[in-house]
């Protein structure tokens, strides 16, 4: 109660007249935003530290300057996004999804798409590159939430209509698999399942979808032998460490050499050309070496607090409303990406190139992560969300 009074006094000092409940929610939104900014600050520090090479030059500062440039783009964009009401995002969700699908198509057009390390995932605009699959991480949940709250679909009891809800993933998944990027495809599939679960999709459908995806995933592994090599290498990490893939070896060595308190910011050795992708996919290993167990657990607790507070600011929304489905899906997706990155770095799952939100270097990922926070804040401010979707008898 005292916390609510403090928040209420602070709101009144700013000239806003809100009820105690609204004032408390405003305070929670500000705390959620503060946690996000702390993650952004940690990312700035680790991007600069992890970019140091064995032969320090002015070039290593380029990573930090570019990271700051993307922050300068992402922060104002996230602020603008947070000011727009949930009704705006519900109205425009199909158009944003179609636009992101068009961008995924353009990746495969000669002259527009850019191939890096054997993968064609980027669009180059002058000296800047953009990864459309990152944008799909926002537009797909919005599209799923739009479908699940569409009156015609909501009232339908047809099996085929409900099954047709997965069509957005069927549109974007082949385009991402062809890049090739199986990890992002599976990640988007998990995000879609979260949205369907929040929207009240019958549990029997989840079982059927899982059984259908198992042979599909096996087929993809056969078509792409290097994917199978990643799985066998991951198994070797736990069976015979000497036979483990080089990247996983260096990652675990980095984490182990940090001990309890780490060797200090900027003092790590493994990032000096020993640990591949030190400032992107494996930046968490650098955190472990330089900040030790204290740093890795601290970052993990920060993400737990971020997720917990995110759920709190969305708790007043009806379960089946557009804002609730989209907001919780985007929040869960962001935290799930961080968890998967940590699992890869610690050899808990097979290696996959997935960045750590806010902490890894990367333009598209950083901007999209910031926009995601803006969307969550936009949905959290919704005071009159749409009515809940009625629960079906066979859920």
- 87 has pLDDT over 80: yes
Query: Measured between alpha carbons, how far is 228 from 360 in angstroms, rounded to an integer?
Result: 26
Find how far residue 142's CA is from the centre of its chain.
14
Q: Which two tokens stand for residue 207?
A: 């079982």
End-to-end alpha-carbon separation of the chain, Å?
Answer: 38
Q: Which ranges of 224-314 does DSSP label H, i.e. alpha helix? A: 225-239, 246-257, 283-314
b/e sequence 75-101, b meaning 16+ C-beta within 10 Å: beebeebbeeebeebbeebbebbeebb
Q: Which two tokens stand for residue 270?
A: 């493994």
Query: Measured between alpha carbons, how far is 383 from 301 in angstroms, rounded to an integer?
Result: 30
Residue 73 to residues 84, 167, 201, 346, Cα–Cα distance (Å): 18, 32, 37, 32
Q: How large is the average pLDDT for residues 198-208? A: 80
Lowest mean pLDDT across 111-120, 154-163, 180-189, 374-383: 154-163
270 contacts: CB under 8 Å, gap ≥ 6: 250, 253, 254, 257, 278, 285, 286, 289
φ, ψ at 129 (rounded to 5°): -120, 150
- For the chain, percent of residues with pLDDT exceeding 70: 78
Q: Which two tokens stand for residue 377?
A: 């804040």
87/13: higher pLDDT: 87
- 51 has pLDDT over 50: yes
Res 257: pLDDT: 83
Count of Cβ atoms closer than 10 Å to residue 59 Cβ: 10
Mean pLDDT computed over every residue of the chain: 80
Q: Is 392 helix (H, G, I), strand (E, B) or coil?
A: coil
Query: Measured between alpha carbons, how far is 138 from 17 in angstroms, rounded to an integer?
Result: 33
Q: How large is the average pLDDT for residues 49-56? A: 65
Res 92: pLDDT: 94
Q: Which two tokens stand for residue 96?
A: 């944003």
Res 270: pLDDT: 76
Find how far residue 191's CA is from the centre of its chain.
10
Lowest mean pLDDT across 11-20, 202-211, 214-223, 239-248: 11-20
Residue 108 to residues 101, 179, 224, Cα–Cα distance (Å): 12, 8, 18
Res 388: pLDDT: 44
Query: Measured between alpha carbons, how far is 285 from 302 in angstroms, rounded to an integer?
Result: 17
Query: Measured between alpha carbons, how far is 357 from 370 in angstroms, rounded to an integer?
Result: 9
Q: Among 104-118, 327-341, 346-360, 374-388, name the most confident range.
A: 327-341
Q: How large is the average pLDDT for residues 99-103? A: 92
Query: Measured between alpha carbons, how far is 254 from 269 in angstroms, rounded to an integer?
Result: 8
b/e sequence 260-289, b meaning 16+ C-beta within 10 Å: eebbeeeebebbeeebebbbbbbbbbbbbb
Q: Among 84-88, 183-187, 259-263, 280-284, name the most confident range.
A: 84-88
What pLDDT band is residue 24 in, cutting at 50, 70 and 90?
A: confident
In tens, the pLDDT along 311-343 reads 999 998 888 899 999 999 999 999 999 999 999
What pLDDT band is residue 88 in, cutting at 50, 70 and 90?
A: very high
In tens, the pLDDT along 142-200 reads 999 999 888 776 666 666 666 678 888 888 888 888 877 778 888 898 899 899 889 88
- 16 has pLDDT over 60: no
Q: How large is the average pLDDT for residues 74-95? A: 93
Q: 337 with 357: CB under 8 angstroms?
A: yes
Count of Cβ atoms closer than 10 Å to residue 148 Cβ: 22
Lowest mean pLDDT across 115-119, 213-217, 312-316: 213-217
pTM of the model: 0.85
In tens, the pLDDT along 182-192 reads 788 888 988 99
Q: Concatenate the DSSP letters of all residues of 47-87 into one string.
A: HHHHT--SS--TTHHHHHHHHHHHHHHHHHHHHHHHHS-HH
What pLDDT band is residue 7 in, cutting at 50, 70 and 90?
A: very low
242/10: higher pLDDT: 242
Res 230: pLDDT: 66
Res 395: pLDDT: 40
Domain boundaries, the chain: 30-380
Q: 315 with 28: CB under 8 angstroms?
A: no
Res 33: pLDDT: 94
Lowest mean pLDDT across 43-57, 68-82, 284-298: 43-57
């Amino acid at each position: 109660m005292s916390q609510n009074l403090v928040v209420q006094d602070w709101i009144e000092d700013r000239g806003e007249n809100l009820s105690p409940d609204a004032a408390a929610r405003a305070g929670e939104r500000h705390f959620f935003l503060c946690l996000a900014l702390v993650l952004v600050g940690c990312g700035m520090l680790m991007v600069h530290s992890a970019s140091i090479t064995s032969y320090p030059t002015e070039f290593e500062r380029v990573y930090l300057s570019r990271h700051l440039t993307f922050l300068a783009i992402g922060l104002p964009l996230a602020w603008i996004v947070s000011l727009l009401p949930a009704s705006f995002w519900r109205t425009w969700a199909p158009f944003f999804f179609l636009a992101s699908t068009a961008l995924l198509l353009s990746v495969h057009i000669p002259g527009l798409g850019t191939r890096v390390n054997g993968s064609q995932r980027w669009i180059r605009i002058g000296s800047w590159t953009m990864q459309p699959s990152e944008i799909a991480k926002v537009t797909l949940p919005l599209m799923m939430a739009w479908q699940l709250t569409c009156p015609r679909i909501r009232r339908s009891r047809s099996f085929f209509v409900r099954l047709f809800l997965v069509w957005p993933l069927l549109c974007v998944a082949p385009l991402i698999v062809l890049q090739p990027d199986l990890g992002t495809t599976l990640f988007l599939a998990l995000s879609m399942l979260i949205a369907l679960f929040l929207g009240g999709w019958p549990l029997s459908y989840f079982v059927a979808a899982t059984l259908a995806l198992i042979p599909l995933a096996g087929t993809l592994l056969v078509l792409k032998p290097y994917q199978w090599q990643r799985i066998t290498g991951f198994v070797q990490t736990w069976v015979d460490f000497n036979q483990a893939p080089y990247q996983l070896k260096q990652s675990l060595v980095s984490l182990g050499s940090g001990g309890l308190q780490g060797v200090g910011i900027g003092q790590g050795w493994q990032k000096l050309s020993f640990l591949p992708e030190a400032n992107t996919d494996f930046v968490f290993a650098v955190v472990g070496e330089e900040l030790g167990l204290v740093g890795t657990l601290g970052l993990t607790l920060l993400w737990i607090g971020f997720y917990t507070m995110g759920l709190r600011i969305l708790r007043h929304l009806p379960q089946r409303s557009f804002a609730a489905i989209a907001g919780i899906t985007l929040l869960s997706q962001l935290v799930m990406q961080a968890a998967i990155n940590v699992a890869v770095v610690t050899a808990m799952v097979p290696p996959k190139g997935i960045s750590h939100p806010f902490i890894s270097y990367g333009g598209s990922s950083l901007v999209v992560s910031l926009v995601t926070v803006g969307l969550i804040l936009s949905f959290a401010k919704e005071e009159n969300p749409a009515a809940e979707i009625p629960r079906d008898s066979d859920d």
